[in-house]
Structure formats: C-alpha cells, structure tokens
Amino acid sequence: MRLLSWAYLAAAYAFVFLPVVVLVVFSFQDGRLPVPPFQGFSLQWYDKILGNGALMTALWHSALVAFVSSALALVMGFLAAHALARVRLPGSVLLRGLLIAPMTVSYLIIALGLLTTFNQAGISLSLWTAGIGHVVINLPLCFAIAYAAMGDHQKNAERAARDLGATEAQVLWHVSAPMLAPALAAAFFLSVTFSWDEFIIAFLLTRFDVTLPVEIWSMLRSGLSPATNAVGSLVFLVSVSAVVLMEIFLFRRPK
C-alpha cells in the first residue's frame, strides 16, 4: 500500500511535468522542429524571439494591461468590500451577489457581451477595451478576497481611529489597507496572473495592439516551432520566479 502510494505520486508528477519538460527541452533544439530526436543544444530560438519586435511589443502590452487593470480592480474591490463589510446597506446580499457574478460566467461570454456593446456604442477596439474586460473578470476576485479578509479585529482598530478623529480616507489609507496588506497583495498578484495569461478577451477586444497570449496564438498558426517553445519557456520562467518570490516574501508564516 505504501509502495503503491509512492508509485502513484511519481506517476502523477510525471503526468503533470511531462508537457512542461518537453516544452523546455525542445526550446533548445538545434533544428527546425521541436520534436524528437533532440539534435543538439542551441540558443538560436531564444536569440530569435528576443529580437522579434512584435513579440516584445506584445509582452509590453500584456504587462501594461495586467498591472493597470489589476490596480483598478484592486482599488474598486477593496472600497466595495470595505463598504459592504462596515456599513449596513439595504439589499447587501444582492449587491454582494452582483459583484461576484462575473466569476461564474465564461470569459468568452463576457468578451462577446462587451464586443456587442462596444460595437453598438461605436467604441473602437484597442488595448484599453481589453483592459476593461480584464477589470470585469478581476474585480470579483479582488472584492471576494478583500471581503473575506475583513474581520472584527480590523473593525475595532478602524473604530478607534475614527474616535480619535481620523477621516474615512485616513482610516482606509492608514488603518484598513495596511492591516489587509497580505490579502490585498495576494489579490493583486492573482489578478496580474489572470490578466497576463488571459487569451479570449484580449483576442476579441483588441485589434492591432495585441497582448502576448494573442501573439503566441498567431505563432501557433504557422505550426510547430522551437520559437514557440522558447517563448513558452520564458513565460514559465517568469511566472515560476514570481511564485517563488511570493512564497518567500508574502506567504511565509512566522514559525
């Protein structure tokens, strides 16, 4: 039974890692196709993609839209969570449901709805219309994380600050936000990841200034290529470094 467990664990990790390993290994392929046999080690594909202007522009667009849309979603989500956790408002259950609702709707449908609306309103598509879509998908996430993190502890500290004469803005900025910092950072980080990797909204709502996943998608049309492997490996490297840094600095619990 014990042996069987370890065998299962090994098989599971093999399955999880197989495509990733294949992706990374064949990004170093010294040949035209990223499939066996491995013809030797080469960095030519990395050289090629780093010199690819369209790809680098797409990378910049992705980073820009990820940070701006996540920041917006975080601020709005935090303020809304604060309002619903602190002040008794009529219909607050309904309001909470409304703010969470986009989470249960497929990205494709959100994108299609926005596309229809933008078309009818005569708004032309750009990186910013995709950004609007990314705020829609990240706002519920930021709201839910911030709302879940607010407890009585914060409530008392906020009340104390108010009694000492702090304005609501001061309470938010000097008391609530710092006390919720880990949750807010996690929400921001998750939002950035989702936006950075999001394909369908960016695909349907941008026209010329595309993001990285959309650019990778168009690379796929020309078939298998070690260049695509190289891009994928670099994205993987960046994300894994970010996760490791988060793990070290944010989620490490004091022992």
50 forms part of the interface with another protein (CB under 8 A): no
Minimum distance from CB of 28 to another protein (Å)?
Answer: 13
| 143, 139, 105, 100: CA torsion to nearest 10 | 20
88 forms part of the interface with another protein (CB under 8 A): yes
250 forms part of the interface with another protein (CB under 8 A): no
Query: CA nearest 131: which of 59, 210, 52, 35?
Result: 210
Kindly indicate which of the ranges 45-53, 91-99, 149-157, 177-185 contains the residues binding another protein, using the contact rule CB under 8 A: 91-99
Which residues ranging from 171 to 190 are in contact with another protein (CB under 8 A)?
none
87 forms part of the interface with another protein (CB under 8 A): yes
36 forms part of the interface with another protein (CB under 8 A): yes
| CA–CA dist 151, 143 (Å, integer) | 14
Residue 35: CB atoms within 10 A of its CB come to 11
Which residues ranging from 199 to 228 are in contact with another protein (CB under 8 A)?
199-200, 212-213, 216-217, 220, 224, 228
CB 199 within 8 A of CB 7: no
Using the rule CB under 8 A, which residue among 94, 243, 245, 250 binds another protein?
A: 243
229 forms part of the interface with another protein (CB under 8 A): yes
Using the rule CB under 8 A, which residue among 28, 45, 46, 107 binds another protein?
A: 107
Minimum distance from CB of 223 to another protein (Å)?
Answer: 10
Using the rule CB under 8 A, which residue among 98, 160, 245, 250 binds another protein?
A: 98
Cα–Cα distances in Å, from 147 out to 2, 101, 138, 144? Answer: 42, 15, 14, 5
Residue 195: CB atoms within 10 A of its CB come to 27
CB 15 within 8 A of CB 191: no
Minimum distance from CB of 127 to another protein (Å)?
Answer: 16
Burial of residue 36 (CB within 10 Å: 0-12, 13-18, 19+) is exposed
23 forms part of the interface with another protein (CB under 8 A): yes
